[in-house]
Structures are given as C-alpha cells and as structure tokens.
Structure 1
Amino acid sequence: MTVLTKRLAAVAAIGILAGCGQATEAEQPTPPTPAETLKKAVPAASAEPFHYVIKGGTQGLSGVVDTAGKAMTTEISEKIPEAGLTLSMTFMVIGEDSWAKISFGDAPANLGLPKLPKKWMKLDLSRLGADAKKDLTYDGQSDPGFVSTLIDAADGLTETSPGHFTGTVDLTEATEADVVEAATLTALGAKAKAVPFEAVLDDRGRISTATVKVPAAGKVKADTYLVTYDRYGSAPSPQAPAGSAQVAAPKAAYELLNG
C-alpha cells in the first residue's frame, strides 16, 4: 500500500464511521486510585530542586535535593544530653564529590572530642566504610523521606478532600523509612500493621507533607513522623565550596564517620 492509498483508506474509514452512526464512543480512562495519585506526586528524577524536612522517626533531617544536578545536602542536629552537647552535621554531595561540616557545639573540654576544621571538609570516599560511603554518594535519591515506601505499604487510602489523603500504613512493610526503631516496632506488635497515615498535596499535585502517627506502646511514647517537601523550583541548588572554603578532611573526621 502506498502513502497515498494509506491516506485515502484513512479518509474512507472516517467517512464510513461518520455515516453509519453506530460507532461506539472511546472508553473513558479509568480514574487513578488514591495510591496512584500519591505515587505520581512523589518527587522523581525529573523533579525541580526542592527543600525537605523530616521530623520524628529515628533521625530528624533537613536539606535540599537537586536530581538534575545530582546534588543533595543533609543537615542533622542532635542533642546528646548525657554528654552535654549538640552534635551538628551538614553533608553535601554533588556528583561524585562529597563534603562535610561537623560541630560539637559547646562540648565540655574533658570529653576529649577531636578538633575539626570549621570549613567544609572534602571527603575521600575510598577512606569511608561501606555504610558511610553509601550515605555520602548520590545514587539518584529523590525521596529522602521515603514517602513512596510509605505509600507502597499503605492501605485504605481515601481522598477526604481535594489533595488530602488518609489511610493506614504497615510499618513492618516500610522499615526502609526508619519511622521507628526496631525495638519500637516490636513493642507495637499488631498495632504496627495499621498506623494512621496522612498525605497532603500542594496546588500542583506534588507531595507537600506526609505524616505517620505512631501510637504509644508499653514504655514507648506516641510519636509523629512528618515529612515536608516544599520550595519546589526555588530551593537553591547545592554548589561546590570555593577552594578557600574547603580543606581535606583529617583522619579524625573519617574515624568519626566510620564509627
């Protein structure tokens, strides 16, 4: 069949369908399920740079993710009452390069903590253990709060109002998200199978917040795991420190990071 006859055949087919009046209407697409809507709302590889905050869970975090630039920052601040100090750590990964800033605040001198540079410390990944190296390597991460993992483990998801979803999540199926410690998961028992879950989308259908309300169990107090993704497109993309703003990480930094 030539191009011309293809065109004529197409025209003829259209004419026949229009003339007989018995053509069936095209099937309407099936509306997405709440889970599908939420999965689509999670930042992916094509996402604009965004800011994130994770509260609760096993470790609070904040920072910026820029998937296009293969860049990410992570800020951690943790009070250690028994040592009388606040440990602050900031990590930056851009491509295959990583930097860190570590501070012990006003730690008592008798603790014998190492004196680390205040500038960005450039890390040699070959000197890091497997776990630390994995944490400080950009491998396409676009969902630092593991919202997608929570959605996969969720049940009974319902859109209660535009952009607002509720349901439950099985924490035993979402351990990668580190919502609770292993001991807490054990203490929760059957409760861990159906923990209240909420998700809110912004006006462009992107994840704004995801919340897991962990109930009390035995001696374990109730807790809330909250992930916030915001400043889509306006969060500043991580930039490599200028030469004068960085130094090679000393041995003490590797000893600390490797545990």
Structure 2
Amino acid sequence: MTIRRFGAAVFAATLLAPTLSACTGTAETGAGATPTVSGSASPAPSGTVSPGPSGAVSGDAKQALLNSTNEIKNGNFRFTMSGAGSTAQGQVHQPSQSAQLKISLGEAGSDLMLALDLIHAKPDSWVKLDLGGQVAPSLPPALRELNLDKYQHLDQTKIQGNRSLGFDFDKLDPAGSAVLTQGITEVRQTGEGAYAGTVDVSKAAEAGSLDTSLITALGAQAQSLPFTARLDPQGRLNELIIKIPATGQTEAQDVKITYSDYGNATEAPKPPADQTVEAPAELYNLLK
C-alpha cells in the first residue's frame, strides 16, 4: 500500500484531489461531502460589467477583492479550508514565527483516515499523526508504528521544499487567496460585502488550496469556475467558495476557505518535551 504525495502547499495539500490509494485501488475520502455555499454563485456572462445592489461595477468589485487579501500578508489570523471530504483549520502568527494546522482526511468509517496536527515554531517543526479507517489494520507495521500519540520532531534539512510538512514564513497564506483573487475574470457585488463571479485557476497551483493534478484534469474549465466571496466590515476577506465541477472519478465539490481573528491570533503552542520523539524515516517517506 502507498499513500500518494499530498501535492499542495503545506496546509491544504489534499483538499482537491483523491490522495489515498489502497492496494486494490483508490480510496475516495468523503466522496460527495460538499460544504454549504452561502450567497449566489450565478455569475453574469463572462466579459460583462454588472452593477450590483450598491452600484459597484466589475472593476470596483474586483479591486475590493484584491484589497481584501492585504491583511493576510501580515500573518496574524486563523483560517479553515474544506473540500473533497477533507478539512483543515489552523492559525498563523508571524510575530512569534509560529503556525499550527490540523488536517483531517476521511472519517473513522472510511477505507483510510488520516489526521495530522502540524506545529511550526521557527526553527522547529513537529507533527502528530493518526492513521485509521477500515484498512488501517492491514497497513505495513512501519506505518502502523507511526501512530505514537506523540509529536514527532521534524529534521528541517529533510523537509526543505516539502509542501506537505514544511512552512515558508515568507509565504504566510496557506490557501493562497491573493493568488486566487488575481485570477478573477468576472465579478459583481451581490450585497453588502458579498460578491459572485468567475475565477481562472489554471495558473493558481501555488495557491495551496488547489491541487495541480485537479487543475490539469479540469482542462479549459479551470479558466472559468464560479465563486462567491464575503468580506468583513473592514473589507478583509472572510470567506471564499469556489465551485469545482466533476472530473473523471472526482465528484463535483465546493472548496471553502475562511479567515477570522485578523490581528488576534496567538502563538502556536510548542508540544512538551515529554510528548515528543524524533521522526523516523518512514514518516518522511509517507509524506514526501
């Protein structure tokens, strides 16, 4: 049995592609699980400029969304991501050079369930791993032994460039919403702080919330995906939902990204020394 590479920036690696493969084939994690979309996702025809209820036209609406990601660059917020039966939640706290993310793929009743709790406190990183599901008992012993119920300290020289385990404090947004909003092709304001339109994600693989294999599978469809967005009263991005059509064996899904607690996140807690061990080679091989 192998577990495929997560394939996107540290925190959202598996949200948009099937990632777990069993000896007998692919284990779809949470197929059909689709977050509820708030707001309208019925954009006007591409290329039009549509005034919204407040009179804003497309150019003004796009600039509002571009500006809404500026505060993320300060690196002090909490966030969530969900899609394809996977969830991620965490916080980034640039003042302390720390971050934490909890990722969950599948459920206890799934063929294979994987949960990660990643903590970064520069210059150290730790991960706690939980492998479960129906096929967990048949996993190779080396993988089963990774379920230590302890945080495994990561060798920084082994995770440099690893988009599943590493974290770049020069690129503070795990979801890459600034990259995504730059790809907006049409947008209109649908209410106070609410927007809808289409976005081209064909060049947004670095965003972190989009898997490169999915973008490739979407083909030309990737150039015009419906989205909705909501801003908080200060004009900061609060929610972004992108609707992904079905491709091949992957069902249609919604990818939802939220941000909160701008300026009020806290330092990620370092695990106590008595709850940590050094990570074995099997862990790096599993998540490379």
* Structure-2 residue corresponding to 1:94: 121
Alignment partners' CA distance in 1, 2:209 and 2:121: 27
Are 1:163 and 1:201, in contact at CA under 8 Å, matched by a contact in 2?
Answer: yes
Taking a change above 3 Å as real, the CA distance of residues 119 and 40 of structure 1, as seen in their structure-2 partners, is same
* Structure-1 residue corresponding to 2:234: 204
Taking a change above 3 Å as real, the CA distance of residues 223 and 102 of structure 1, as seen in their structure-2 partners, is same
Equivalenced residue count is 225
> TM-score scaled to structure 1, two decimals?
0.74
Q: CA deviation at 1:142?
A: 2.5
Alignment partners' CA distance in 1, 2:164 and 2:254: 27
Q: CA deviation at 1:205?
A: 1.7
Q: CA deviation at 1:252?
A: 2.9
The alignment status of 1:124 with 2:151, answered yes or no, reads: no
Taking a change above 3 Å as real, the CA distance of residues 248 and 204 of structure 1, as seen in their structure-2 partners, is same
- Within the candidate set 237, 244, 256, 1:214 is matched to 244
Q: CA deviation at 1:141?
A: 2.9
* Structure-1 residue corresponding to 2:253: 223
Alignment partners' CA distance in 1, 2:208 and 2:84: 6
* Structure-2 residue corresponding to 1:251: 281
Taking a change above 3 Å as real, the CA distance of residues 182 and 78 of structure 1, as seen in their structure-2 partners, is same
Taking a change above 3 Å as real, the CA distance of residues 190 and 123 of structure 1, as seen in their structure-2 partners, is closer
SS in structure 2 of the partner of residue 140 of structure 1:
coil
- Within the candidate set 73, 95, 99, 1:68 is matched to 95
Offset from partner CA, 1:94-118 (integer Å, 9 cap, x none): 1221111111136643322341332
Alignment partners' CA distance in 2, 1:249 and 1:58: 27
Offset from partner CA, 1:35-91 (integer Å, 9 cap, x none): 3322222133325x3221111269642211112222111222113899833111111
> TM-score scaled to structure 2, two decimals?
0.67
SS in structure 2 of the partner of residue 104 of structure 1:
strand
The alignment status of 1:110 with 2:149, answered yes or no, reads: no
Q: What amino acid sits opposite 2:137 in the alignment?
A: A
Taking a change above 3 Å as real, the CA distance of residues 69 and 58 of structure 1, as seen in their structure-2 partners, is farther
Taking a change above 3 Å as real, the CA distance of residues 79 and 35 of structure 1, as seen in their structure-2 partners, is same
For structure 1, the 5+ residue unaligned runs are: 1-31
Q: CA deviation at 1:149?
A: 0.9
For structure 2, the 5+ residue unaligned runs are: 1-58
The alignment status of 1:44 with 2:72, answered yes or no, reads: yes
Are 2:88 and 2:102, in contact at CA under 8 Å, matched by a contact in 1?
Answer: yes
Are 1:67 and 1:141, in contact at CA under 8 Å, matched by a contact in 2?
Answer: no
> Which structure has the higher relative contact order (CA within 8 Å, separation 6+)?
2
The alignment status of 1:150 with 2:180, answered yes or no, reads: yes
Root mean square deviation, CA, Å: 3.0
Taking a change above 3 Å as real, the CA distance of residues 216 and 87 of structure 1, as seen in their structure-2 partners, is closer
Q: CA deviation at 1:167?
A: 1.7
SS in structure 1 of the partner of residue 202 of structure 2:
helix
Matches within 5 A, 1:129-140: 130-132=160-162, 135-140=165-170
- Within the candidate set 161, 186, 193, 1:163 is matched to 193
Taking a change above 3 Å as real, the CA distance of residues 69 and 242 of structure 1, as seen in their structure-2 partners, is same
Q: Could you tell which deviates more after superposition, 225-234 or 215-224?
A: 215-224
Taking a change above 3 Å as real, the CA distance of residues 152 and 59 of structure 1, as seen in their structure-2 partners, is farther
Q: What amino acid sits opposite 1:101 in the alignment?
A: K
Q: Could you tell which deviates more after superposition, 181-190 or 152-161?
A: 181-190
The alignment status of 1:232 with 2:262, answered yes or no, reads: yes
Taking a change above 3 Å as real, the CA distance of residues 130 and 95 of structure 1, as seen in their structure-2 partners, is closer
Offset from partner CA, 1:100-143 (integer Å, 9 cap, x none): 111113664332234133221111112x2544278413322332
Are 1:53 and 1:61, in contact at CA under 8 Å, matched by a contact in 2?
Answer: yes
Taking a change above 3 Å as real, the CA distance of residues 74 and 41 of structure 1, as seen in their structure-2 partners, is same
Q: What amino acid sits opposite 1:237 in the alignment?
A: E
Q: CA deviation at 1:161?
A: 1.8
